[in-house]
Amino acid sequence: MSAQLVNIELSLTNRHDCEQSALELLKIIRPEWNGKSIRFEIFTAGITNKIFAAFVDDGERLVFRVFGKNTENFIDRDRELKAMERLAQNGLAAPLYAKFANGIVVGYLPGVTIHVDDMKDPRMQRRICSTMAAYHNMNGTVTPNVNDLFPFRKIRDFIGNIDTSSITDETAFVREFPKELEELQSLVVPLKEEIAFCHNDILVHNILFEKISDTVRFIDYEYADYNYALFDLANHFCEYSGVEKPDYSRCPSDDEIRSFSSMYLQERFGVIDERRVEEITTRSPLFQAVSAVIENVNGFDI
């Protein structure tokens, strides 16, 4: 079932206006719902993003995601929606029900996001590896050009949106960055790492644990795209430090990376290739560096 297109815009800043517009949208996509019985639950609310659920009693829940103004300048929404649809077809994301002027409506995934302390729990690691393997095992016929792979394209997109009209430390960096990026790419490309469909942002807030089924799902697909499979592992290792108050002493040791890599290979291929475990361990710092570059250029004022 394809998503319905609805020409309605939801407010990011006024809750009442936002909910009234959501009710109008629900009349179209869920006409059987009693408007007077519809309730809303806010998950996140801010000037750049808003996520909330709509529901009637204990029935179906729909999740509204309102995109921040101008976020399309650095997030390719068409790519994101195609990724969501593909993941949903493979049972890895909630179904996409509607697209409105500045956002989407999707199904509700039950569960709770994990805590940074959970990331070193072997049971949770096994669940994460299982879901990561499912992403990487999705069959695809597209083999993108190296320059169109997620990390290099995303870095160029971010850099291209930085205001360089005034000279600052950041803009001086931007002027030199194309050469630096070429050098980084020259280190990564010759490794000929496998290209797969990746989530590309596996931090704690994007890992949803559902206790009854004892599984995890990855959420938030803004970055989901083709990439080196090893990037997903390396990016995840970077996130061991936490988000709000990073503690880099939490980052995994080589032995911990070996252990996680073994789980991943077992979940993905059914066997553990010790040579590949060592390859992942030794190459992981380079791909962690690529992940760190994306995180840092994303933090620039644009």
Q: What is the pLDDT of residues 3-30, one digit of tens each?
A: 899 999 999 989 999 999 999 999 999 9
Give the pLDDT score at 76: 84
- The CA dihedral of 48, 98, 142, 260, to the nearest 10 degrees, is 60
The phi, psi pair for 42, rounded to 5°, reads -80, 130
Evaluate if residue 140 carries a pLDDT over 90: no
Tens-digit pLDDT profile for residues 256-272: 999 999 999 999 999 99
Are the C-beta atoms of residues 182 and 99 closer than 8 Å to each other? no
Task: Return the structure tokens found at 105.
Answer: 């409506």
Provide the total of helices (H) and of strands (E) in the chain, helices listed first. 8, 11
Architecture field, domain 4-107 = 2-Layer Sandwich (3.30)
Closest CA to 101 of 67, 71, 61: 67
In which band, very low, low, confident or very high, does the pLDDT at 302 lie, cut at 50, 70 and 90? very low
Four-point Cα dihedral 156, 226, 252, 254, nearest 10: -100
- Secondary-structure breakdown of the chain: helix, strand, coil percentages, each rounded to the nearest 5: 50, 20, 30
What is the reported pTM?
0.90
Query: What does pLDDT average to over the chain?
Result: 90
Indicate the domain borders of the chain. Answer: 4-107, 112-298
Q: What angle do CA 204, 209, 213 make, to 5 degrees?
A: 160
The pairing of strands 96-100 and 4-6 is parallel
- Selection from 52, 49, 58 nearest residue 26 by Cα: 52
**Confidence band for 138, pLDDT divided at 50, 70 and 90:** very high
Q: Can you tell me whether residue 112 is helix, strand or coil?
A: strand
Phi-psi group of 91: left, alpha or beta (phi > 0 → left; psi -120 to 50 → alpha; rest → beta): left
10-19, 35-44, 96-105, 136-145: range with lowest mean pLDDT: 136-145
Residue 70: alpha-carbon gap to chain centroid: 19
CA separation, residue 190 to residues 13, 42, 117, 146, 231 (Å): 47, 46, 35, 11, 15
- What is the topology classification, in CATH, of domain 112-298? Aminoglycoside 3'-phosphotransferase; Chain: A, domain 2 (3.90.1200)
**pLDDT exceeds 60 at position 47:** no
**pLDDT average, residue stretch 131-157:** 83
CB 294 within 8 A of CB 74: no
C-alpha angle 197-198-199 in degrees, rounded to nearest 5: 140
